[in-house]
A and B are shown apart, each in its own frame.
Chain A
Amino acid sequence: MRRMLRLHRIFVAQYMKNLMEYKVDFLTGAISFLIGQVVQIAFLGIIFSQIPNLVGWEFNEILFIYGFSLLPKGLDHLLFDNLWSVGYFIVRKGDFDKYLTRPINSLFYVICEKFCVDAFGELFIGLVLIVYSVIALKLTITWYMIPLFIIAVVFATLIYTSIKIATSAISFWTKASGHITHMFYMTNDFSKYPTTIYNKFVRTFITYVVPFAFTAFYPASFFLTGENPLFCIGGTVLASVVLFVISVCIWNRGIKAYESAGS
């Protein structure tokens, strides 16, 4: 584990050096990203100025859920973004060979090769929204809320990551699966709002099939109301662990089916 952390740090450092190598590209990336975030916040403001109350949740509560949803999403984006490339081109082009000829776990190696600095924006905005809504709602914070909050965020992140691992591993059989990952990933948009606004099908889908509801609404609703800790936090932990185990199994079986590319 310590070796893994050390390697991760080294890879991140290499990646940052890489970024700096192309200064213009890095700067334009940073600027366009900032613009994107500002537009997003403005857009949020417009939407919420029109809907002061959503099935019993008031504006600031929605803001809290929205802010919470950005944390696991941002963390996953920050640390595990390279999984996208697996499904889009690494496997198809045969570049996965490289990961298999190194004495480190292939999944770990793929993951830590990239470090997505863009994600700091999501994390920052998420934190701002949470702090703002907590103050506006005058929520009382009890001591055990803090570790529970961290646990919820960590395991919620793992839900995102597991879904990406499982769907990108499909490419070992189909050669490319980026669009499958994209399709599943996009359902996370549902999780930013209370599940009670959806019909039964969508609700079941994002709770039990692709459990994105556990990445935001369920844990966030516990911190807002203090109700159902077992389902809201325990469910997040359970869903993410089960999903992670399944996705690692798919990944490992996928490696056996990997066909490389001609050279």
Chain B
Amino acid sequence: MIYVNDLKKEFKKAIKEPGLKGSIKALFKPNNEIIKAVDGITFHVPKGEILGFIGPNGAGKSTVIKMLTGILTPTSGTCTINGYVPQKDRQKYVKEIGVVFGQRTQLWWDLALRETYSVLKEIYDVPDKEFKQRMAFLNEVLELDSFITSPVRTLSLGQRMRADIAASLLHNPKVLFLDEPTIGLDVVVKDNIRNAIQKINAEEGTTVILTTHDLSDIELLCNRIVMIDKGKKVFDGQINELKHEFGQMRDLQFELVDINNVAKLDYCEHFNATADDLQLSNEGVMVSVRFNSDVVSVEDMLSYTLSKVHVKDINLKDADIEEIIRRMYRQEVSIDEV
């Protein structure tokens, strides 16, 4: 479905000294530096998959998405989607994809939302009957009804994002690209949008590629993730593979009977573990220990804790993907490609 092969994108960036003087100097004596925004990325996405594209800010996620959607022309390498080369067959190709950039809207700013859909209907040549069915479906999934007659500029961010996603799906695209679809939204809207993406993926087999900084998006939605950093791919695989490969982080939370007992707990010394493998924090009587179960076994952890203090309540859970990825960013550890 989507084949990306050794994709590269370089930008020329002028290096300027600070201030007006620097700008003037750069005008006469430009000093250019080549920046490799995307440096040889290869991956393949089968039909119907939801792929999470993650990485720190400036890693090159958006640049990859922009090359896949035909906006940017790669410096070298190829991508083919549905048999199309986006830059070559641009007009035919974009008919089969939907694109949402969370930070920009594609809606007609001053007009009622409904107008946007009727213009898009014409742009994509959607027949009347199909358009009606489609609108009914999108209405149901994204709950557009309450604001479809309002001018776009009066919509809240959450409404606008739902409207934008609906706009990208109007022509029943085979591939949907979402660049930070949940940015700045509250939990309820995030949930609504995630459900919509899942529903569309399940009912129509739409392939979805999404970038996000919200790691719960990834945990809830994606079958697979590709992580990039500094323009290179550092991980490609299932989420549990990532968890497994990287180590088993666990969270132990418990409530103390006596607040003064906190001092008795000295995990680091007892287990001789580094700060990366074991962290202790507490808020009053609530204590939380995050530890790597490869280094300290769950059993040891529990028995040590219970031998030292009395607890009212205790809870043990997997650390979320967020923590794993945060550690990965911090350590710049790269897992060999899976």
The listed residue (B62, B97, B122, B125) touching A262 by CB distance below 8 A is: B62
Q: When chains A and B are docked, how far (Å) is the Cα of A202 from the Cα of B331?
A: 66
| A14-B115, A263-B101 known; A98-B106 Cβ under 8 A | yes
Contact-residue size bin, chain A (C-beta under 8 Å from the other chain): 20 to 34
Against A, the Cβ 8 Å flags (1 = close, 0 = not) of B137-157 are 000000000000001000000
| A21-B111, A105-B91, A263-B179 known; A100-B70 Cβ under 8 A | yes
A163 to chain B, nearest CB (A): 25
A/B pair count, beta carbons within 8 Å: 71
Apart from the given pairs A95-B104, A97-B71, A256-B73, 15 other A-B contacts in the complex at a CB distance below 8 Å: A14-B111, A17-B111, A21-B151, A22-B110, A94-B104, A97-B66, A97-B101, A100-B90, A101-B94, A101-B99, A102-B123, A104-B123, A255-B73, A256-B87, A259-B72
Q: When chains A and B are docked, how far (Å) is the Cα of A6 from the Cα of B119?
A: 11
What chain A residues lie within 8 Å of B70 (beta carbons)?
100-101
Q: When chains A and B are docked, how far (Å) is the Cα of A10 from the Cα of B116?
A: 11
What chain B residues lie within 8 Å of A102 (beta carbons)?
94, 123
Q: When chains A and B are docked, how far (Å) is the Cα of A91 from the Cα of B73?
A: 15
- Whether, in the assembled complex, B43 has its beta carbon less than 8 Å from a beta carbon of chain A, the answer is no
Q: Are B104 and A14 in contact (CB under 8 A)?
A: no
- Whether, in the assembled complex, B103 has its beta carbon less than 8 Å from a beta carbon of chain A, the answer is yes
Q: When chains A and B are docked, how far (Å) is the Cα of A17 from the Cα of B108?
A: 11
| A14-B111, A105-B91 known; A6-B62 Cβ under 8 A | no
Which are the 7 A-B pairs with shortest beta-carbon distances? Answer: A103-B95, A256-B73, A263-B103, A101-B99, A100-B71, A21-B110, A18-B110
- Whether, in the assembled complex, B124 has its beta carbon less than 8 Å from a beta carbon of chain A, the answer is yes
What chain B residues lie within 8 Å of A11 (beta carbons)?
119
For B, the interface residue count at a CB cutoff of 8 angstroms equals: 33
Interface residues of A in 6-58 (CB under 8 A from B): 6-7, 10-11, 14, 17-18, 21-22
Against A, the Cβ 8 Å flags (1 = close, 0 = not) of B99-121 are 10111101010110001000100
- Whether, in the assembled complex, A85 has its beta carbon less than 8 Å from a beta carbon of chain B, the answer is no
- Whether, in the assembled complex, A89 has its beta carbon less than 8 Å from a beta carbon of chain B, the answer is no
| A21-B111, A102-B94, A103-B92 known; A10-B71 Cβ under 8 A | no
**Which of A94, A100, A105, A260 is the most central at the interface, judged by chain B CB atoms within 10 Å of its CB?**
A100
- Whether, in the assembled complex, B69 has its beta carbon less than 8 Å from a beta carbon of chain A, the answer is yes
Q: When chains A and B are docked, how far (Å) is the Cα of A257 from the Cα of B75?
A: 10
Q: When chains A and B are docked, how far (Å) is the Cα of A259 from the Cα of B10?
A: 10
A59 to chain B, nearest CB (A): 46
A86 to chain B, nearest CB (A): 15
B131 to chain A, nearest CB (A): 14
